[in-house]
Amino acid sequence: IRKLDIYSPSTSTTSTTVPCSSPMCGPTRGCSTRLSACSYQLLYGNTSTAGILVNDLLHLGTDTDPQDPIDAPITFGCGMVQTGEFLDGVGLNGLFGLGIGSESVPSILASKGVTANSFSMCFSRDGLGRIEFGDTGSPDQEVTPFNLQQSQPYYNVTVTQISVEESVTNVEFTAIFDTTSSFVYLSDPAYSIIVKGIDSLYSLMLFLLSQFDSRITEVRYIPSRRIIFDYCYSLGATQESYTIPILAFTMEGGGKFYVHAPTIVIRRDQGGLAYCLAIIESEDVNIIGQHFMTGHRLVFDREKMVLGWKEANCQLISSRYDSISSNSPPISKGTPSSTPPPPPPSPSAFIPVANGTRTPISPPPPPSQSPPPPPPTKTLLGRGGAARLNSMSTGLVMVLLAIFALV
């Protein structure tokens, strides 16, 4: 068992800062004259991380037998000042680039011939992520092409249909798969189709017997203070389960992406629990966040430029390997913005699961004021999809998984 501490460049014998003269620094980044290092700052919603770019070795295990560990040189953002929401336990501590750009970790590993130019992620119900570099997926996975734009080279895909239970709506829009977002952000008309469709299914269940059965009894919950979710429903004091409708996105190419965790449990103002649809209305961008990725092994294949996915028990995948025990490391906080938006509810460690059918789900016990530290992380040394290269993997504990390149 190994306990993980916050990374410090000063305690690493292999760490070097990226100098301001480096081509990687470029005109879009600043320079820390005090540290003589290339600096970065990333603003994302009401969250930010600022620090310097650092070169160091990433210790990776392989899927070979016996294992052949490799030290891979990478560049990442070492956070020094963090601001925004969710700083306690789940906030930013830096920037770990996974994007298309040449500075990202997958790009560096592929350019050095360490792995194939692909990686996978699997998020389980405990809220932790498992990542595997070099994984190109399996032949039976669903795939959809990326829509790359020169100005915004994100992992953008096309959604052609939205279905709620048996109701199907043909509405084509593009969305970014992004683990820096916890939830889903949709602009109209996609937002209205989903939330109004789901809300009508809940509140008008007596009129929609073909869509729901008699177990759907929750009533609409409207909190006294503004929160980021529009559609919430009260849970009874003795209620042990609730049932969610089946929500799915049909992607370009015909593959269906079933959402296993479309809701999140929150505390009610007057006590007790409620659950909310984890979809937030957006003005101009559609984002599919980490919460909706739960229960899938997602493959970001940058060689074929496709997103692959397959339903997976991510906890079972990681349980094949030795665990790494870690207390949630502290987070370097900065001065919060002067006029932050109303704070969202604390996220619950509970994440419901759907299997393409209506599934009863047990709510968690009421969370404490401070969310508990995450459960122990586990290393993932999964099978690799690249015949010519071994895949590498590592547990994620202290860095935010940034889907886009370092900026």
What CATH class has 9-402? mainly beta
Q: Which region among 144-158, 221-235, 251-265, 374-388 has the lowest average model confidence (pLDDT)? A: 374-388
DSSP bridge pairs for 250: 161, 256
Phi, psi of 316 (to 5 degrees): -65, -35
Q: Can you tell me the distance from the alpha carbon of 119 to that of 96, in angstroms, rounded to the nearest whole number?
A: 14
Q: Tell me the average pLDDT of the chain.
A: 69
Answer yes or no: are the C-beta atoms of 275 and 241 closer than 8 Å: no
**Above 50 in pLDDT, residue 335?**
no
With H, G, I as helix, E, B as strand and everything else as coil, classify residue 216. Answer: coil
pLDDT at 328: 37
What is the rounded distance in angstroms from the CA atom of residue 123 to the CA atom of residue 340? 29
Which pLDDT band, with edges at 50, 70 and 90, does 223 fall under?
confident
Higher pLDDT, 7 or 395: 7
- What pLDDT digit, counting tens, does each position of 268-293 carry? 888 889 888 888 877 777 888 888 89
pTM comes to: 0.72
What residues does each domain of the chain span?
9-402
Check: CB of residue 394 under 8 Å from CB of residue 131: yes
What does the pLDDT look like over 241-264, one tens digit per residue?
Answer: 787 788 888 999 999 999 888 888
